[in-house]
Amino acid sequence: MQKNNQNIGFYFIAIMFGLIGTMQEALPQQKYPQFGIDPLKDVIAAMTIDEKALMVTGAKRREVYPTALPGKKQKNIVAVGGYTYPFLRLGIPPIYLSDGPAGVRIAPRRSGDSQTYYATAFPVATLVASGWDTSLSREIGEAMGHEALEYGVDILLAPAMNIHRDPLGGRSFEYYSEDPLLTGKMASAYVQGIQSQGVGASIKHFAANNQETSRRYINTIVSERALREIYLEGFRIVVQEAKPWTVMSSYNKINGVYTPQSRELLVDILRKEWGFNGFVLTDWYGGDDPVEQMKAHNDLLMPGLQVWTDTIADALRNGNLSMDVIDQNIENILNVALKTGTVKDYPYTEKPDFEKSKEVARRVARESMVLLKNEQHTLPIQAGSTSIGLFGNYSYKNLPGGTGSGAVNYEHAVSVAEGLKEAGFKLDPVLEKKYTTHLDKGKPLRDKADSLITAMPPRDSILSELAWDNHEIERSAKETDMAIITIMRIFGEGGDRHVDHFNLTTEELSLIDRVSDAYHAQRKKVVVLLNVGGVVETASWKDKVDGILLTWQSGQEGGHAVADLVSGKFTPSGKLPTTFPVRYADAPSAKNFPGTPIGNPTEVVYEEDIYVGYRYYDTFRVPTSFSFGFGLSYTSFTYTNFKIEKGKGGSATLLVTVENTGRYPGKEVVQVYATAPSGKLEHPEKELKAFAKTRLLQPGERETLRFEITPRMLSSFDTGASAWVAEKGVYDLMIAVSSDTIVANGKFRLAKSQITEKVSKSLIPQVPINILRPVKP
């Protein structure tokens, strides 16, 4: 009976997709316009109402049925995250979509196939942003685009680029930074890399999706200015610079309207102001009114529900939805489809070049990890002659990334222990044996290897930190040359963190205390590695250790990258893309995150307005544990010959020479900030306006960097004028090594105020916002 039901299901689907094709064979005299050959409008005109409703709602079933055009290779549709309906009589194949913030997310196992399919787990976006190097981000994109192409994927649902608004954001590992410029530039390079391979990118989640709590219905209440300057600006940069094929709308509402149902967001801003010409798709099951989504030109509703299709078809028949509207949506989708590997019949191999991907993953990780502390040159240490007491469960097991749609089915993740041993370091064998035995008792993080989406792992899949007797720690301190402790935090889609997850546990703090006491008693050093997906508390314990290396979630080659840096084979050059506060309560959003009512919030008010991250800490003089843009090196750099040259139209050129004055080869991140003059608008203490990373400088070598600063870059959003305005007056332009450490600065005068861009009046809050204001001195 089950077999008969399966056969019936198969034939039903075959009939649904092939009926008209069969009719065409029976009536060969009847011709249909063909996608990719005939004018697109003719193809759309030949679609029935039901077919049009299917085209904009995504495929609903996962059975393997004929989707390939005659003479084309049949793809395994269960291997991807979603796809669109095929219409074979019109020559329209499905297009295939997969998640990919940190690697292509495909099903590792397939029915009737004994092979396991893997993808490379690359460093998470926050780590990539810590490199402050757009060329590295582009390389990640190229490698991921290559893997997607070889797996037959047409569009990667990446990058994720929402702002790090609050330290407890559960999905922050997928996002780049608290700053929209750094976010936009890194994501833009990533998109360019993906699309250079003939695979589309989908920037997400558009927009103001800065929390996971109540994410499907939370109403984000935010001022027009904060929305424009902080939460939309990164997206604008990517749309205009990288031209992504698609944009994914977010789950949340903005000022009362679901984003996939907001014409102001998706048409007035995205298409008219920014010039976006791809298609918009929903996050899975986003929005609550498919007809309104169609009217807002949210072109594709994913993953597809029959009720959506029926509702849209009914609206077309009764006149509640214009045929012109849905035709435009379909045209947006099919124009992108024309670019895809599926339509071009790319001969994908399902055998990507994983060796090249591994090299990229390792290099990006080591160039982006952030050295937060290095007292008395604790690092680097000599491989071959140094023995290490390696503490912490996740010194022996690498957690390469977060869970949810950012998870990747990688073959193997190199642990810190593996990386150090391969680099020639000796590990305390007693510690190693007990830790590996302890980990073997736990369950794997992925209990279902064939799952396309992995939620937060069950509690018993992450073992509590192995307890050590003081005598065992003291023995290790006597027998080894130094200690390394790894602290791990897992992050995932679908839930935000609790403040207890921000703070270290009692067991972790005890381990740091006891290991530090034992090793310092022997006049030996202690280093902490932070294998975390987001910000954690560091202020209470950082003075107890000699070194701290922030590895973030560093991808499957993370252990090798750590060894590359610890050994001094390479010099750390990462800088923080987000601020580490002293306490969670110091964060500007702490008082209103994740919203009200408590327990099941339905709205969240962004009272901190434009004062997000360093904009708040610097303006309100709130001490931090580690500031935005901070990061140490094994070598040292000096900045000389700083000058500002005034150009045409109110532009300025900044030049500065960076010299490596230390003993190690290294790269330096140069940050440019601006302080605006007092005028009509309030401004943060300073804002990032440009950045660059030097090439690898040998000791004594110099490089001169040049930055072009335009009035648009100096502009702020004037809500009353619905315009970006560069106010007249004197700007302080600064070269910095972090947001709170300026190394050179100069003045630049803008003779008169300039409206650099006039925009629509959109997304107005319907309720008053009690906005945080700085106290003027």
Taking alpha carbons only, the member of 717, 686, 608, 588 closest to residue 224 is 717
**Quick check: 106 and 409 in contact, CB under 8 A?**
yes
CB 706 within 8 A of CB 644: no
R_g (Cα) of the chain, nearest Å: 27
Residue in this structure with the two tokens 């994913």, named with its chain if needed: 302
Spatial separation of the C-alpha atoms in residues 363 and 365, rounded to whole Å: 5
Contact 319, 308 (CB under 8 A): no
The one-character DSSP state at 267 is: I
Burial class (CB in 10 A: 0-12, 13-18, 19+), 376: exposed
548 beta partners? 373, 528
Contact (CB, 8 A) for 548 and 626? no
Active-site position among 283, 299, 428, 740: 283
- Which tokens go with 213? 């709590």
Q: Which is it for the CA torsion 597, 602, 607, 610, positive or negative?
A: positive
- As given in the structure block, the two tokens for residue 202 are 């989908």
- Other C-beta atoms lying within 10 Å of the C-beta of residue 233: 18
CB atoms within 10 A of CB 6: 11
Distance of alpha carbon 227 from alpha carbon 717, whole angstroms: 10
Query: What does the block give as tokens for 304?
Result: 């597809």
Tokens of 339: 């670019």
Cα of first residue to Cα of last residue in the chain, in angstroms, is 80
CA 621, chain centre distance (Å): 29
CA nearest neighbour of 689 among 166, 113, 179? 179
623 C-beta neighbours (distance < 10 Å), count? 12
682-709 CB burial, b ≥16 within 10 A, e <16? bbbbbbbbbbbbbeebeeeeebebebeb
What are the tokens at 113?
């196939």
- Residue spans of alpha helices (H) in 213-289: 224-226, 233-242, 263
Contacts of 464-473 with C-beta under 8 Å, sequence gap 24+, read: 464/507, 465/392, 465/393, 465/505, 465/507, 465/508, 465/511, 466/393, 466/434, 466/435, 466/438, 467/507, 468/391, 468/511, 468/514, 470/514, 470/518, 472/430, 473/389, 473/514, 473/515, 473/518
283 a catalytic residue: yes
In sequence order, the β-bridge partners of residue 87 are 92
For residue 428, what are its two tokens?
């305390």
| Catalytic annotation, residues | 283
